[in-house]
């Protein structure tokens, strides 16, 4: 008689998954806000609406880290990629003026490695602490046969709360408004399929990112995403902000068009901020045309706040106090709902 087949022999190790969950619990608990009513390990996350909202509405968003995960895998460094996922989610929802409340992750792996899982969750926790939200739970899915044993993917979603009457409306953006851009020191999570093809083709990740660079190529490509949510939320609460745009896939033009109406246009001036060297390196080594660079990458601006002209200095000062460089990067003119470069 043949021996019985077990789940473990089929490629799913429940004991290892349980060990991974035990490792992540203290990291998640370190992020809890007073509104969190459930503990890690239940079937659902229970979070109360904070006090003080007259007409609260929930704002949610989900995202992942894209093929940046392949850089983490190649370097065997997993403790920052979770920061990227949190950043992509919370910085989306804060553009509606939403205060991030909680975040849940999705880890899909070919084979559970509790140490790797813990490192990934450390990144989630650090991102949540920076964003001011709680890591209230998630999912570890082991997918043998569909993924290699060392393969993994990460994603998640965030939920925030906003005052219904304070959510920005496209009609608020008017001719004469000013664009304030917040600095991104690197790629964040966007354009990695192109960046990897250009920069990692035949090059070792421990080599300098470019001639004379202080960082290695691996360090530069794995640089954690800046989290803008606390700064943007403060700007909405302390200044007059007509719109906010998170600059992700599609670059500045593609994302700024999403927050304006049909009576105006965005006018961007590329000469108003310094472009980080990593982008010039991609353009030269590709070679990649300037048009393609602008369509794919943020080019050093990760978040844009659209404000009345009289608020620009206040918003930039606020950004500086939160540790971000900021510049006036353009303005709003009469138009037809499009965005364009002024050169």
Domains and CATH numbers, the chain: 14-166 (3.30.1330.10), 170-341 (3.90.650.10)
All residues at 6 or more sequence positions from 268 whose CB lies less than 8 Å from its CB, including other chains: 179, 252, 253, 256, 329, 330, 339, 340, 341, 342
Higher pLDDT, 9 or 263: 263
Question: Tokens for 117?
Answer: 């899982």
Instruction: Tell me what pLDDT residue 202 has.
Output: 84
Lowest mean pLDDT among 1-10, 218-227, 282-291: 1-10
- The pLDDT of residue 13 is 72
User: Are 301 and 329 in contact, with CB atoms under 8 Å apart?
Assistant: yes
Residues 110/77, Cβ–Cβ less than 8 Å:
no
**pLDDT tens digits, 160-194:** 999 999 999 999 999 999 999 999 999 999 999 99
Quote the pTM value. 0.95
Q: Is a pLDDT exceeding 80 seen at residue 11? A: no
Q: What share of the chain has pLDDT > 90, as a percent?
A: 88
More confident residue, 188 or 2: 188
Does position 299 have pLDDT exceeding 90, yes or no? Answer: yes
Pairing outcome for strands 339-341 and 264-268: parallel
Q: How far apart are CA 133 and CA 129, in angstroms?
A: 6
Rounded mean pLDDT, 51-58: 97
Place of tokens 């009513």: 37
CA 259 to chain centre: 18
pLDDT at residue 110 in the model:
93
- Strand boundaries in the chain, DSSP class E: 56-64, 99-109, 134-142, 152-163, 178-183, 243-246, 264-268, 301-307, 326-334, 339-341
Do residues 172 and 320 lie in contact, with contact meaning Cβ atoms separated by under 8 Å?
no
pLDDT, tens digit, 9 for 90 and up, residues 95-152: 999 999 999 999 999 999 999 999 999 999 999 999 999 999 999 999 999 999 999 9
Averaged pLDDT, 287-302: 97
């Amino acid at each position: 008689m043949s021996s019985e087949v077990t789940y473990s022999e089929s490629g799913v190790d429940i004991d290892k998954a349980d060990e991974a969950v035990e490792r992540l619990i203290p990291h998640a608990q370190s992020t809890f806000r007073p509104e969190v009513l459930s503990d890690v390990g239940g079937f659902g996350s229970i979070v109360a609406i904070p006090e003080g909202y007259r007409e609260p509405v929930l704002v949610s968003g989900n995202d992942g880290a894209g093929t940046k995960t392949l850089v983490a895998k190649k370097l065997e460094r997993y403790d920052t990629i979770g920061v990227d996922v949190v950043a992509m989610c919370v910085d989306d929802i804060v553009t509606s003026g939403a205060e991030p409340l909680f975040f849940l992750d999705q880890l899909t792996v070919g084979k559970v490695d509790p140490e790797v899982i813990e490192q990934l969750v450390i990144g989630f926790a650090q991102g949540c602490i920076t964003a001011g939200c709680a890591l209230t739970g998630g999912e570890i899915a082991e997918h043998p046969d569909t993924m290699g044993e060392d393969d993994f993917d990460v994603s998640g979603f965030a939920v925030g709360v906003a005052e219904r009457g304070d959510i920005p409306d496209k009609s608020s953006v008017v001719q004469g408004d000013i664009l304030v851009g917040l600095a991104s020191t690197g790629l964040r999570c966007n354009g990695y399929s192109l960046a990897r093809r250009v920069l990692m083709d035949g090059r070792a990740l421990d080599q300098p990112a470019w001639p004379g660079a202080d960082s290695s190529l691996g360090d530069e490509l794995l640089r954690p995403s800046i989290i803008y949510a606390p700064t943007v939320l403060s700007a909405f609460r302390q200044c007059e902000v007509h719109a906010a745009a998170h600059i992700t896939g599609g670059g500045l033009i593609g994302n700024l068009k999403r927050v304006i109406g049909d009576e105006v246009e965005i006018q961007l001036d590329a000469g108003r901020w310094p472009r980080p060297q990593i982008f010039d390196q991609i353009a030269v080594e590709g070679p990649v045309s300037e048009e393609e660079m602008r369509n794919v990458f943020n080019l050093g601006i990760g978040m844009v706040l659209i404000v009345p002209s009289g608020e620009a200095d206040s918003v930039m000062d606020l950004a500086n106090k939160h540790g971000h460089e900021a510049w006036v990067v353009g303005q709003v003119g009469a138009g037809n709902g499009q965005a364009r470069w002024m050169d």
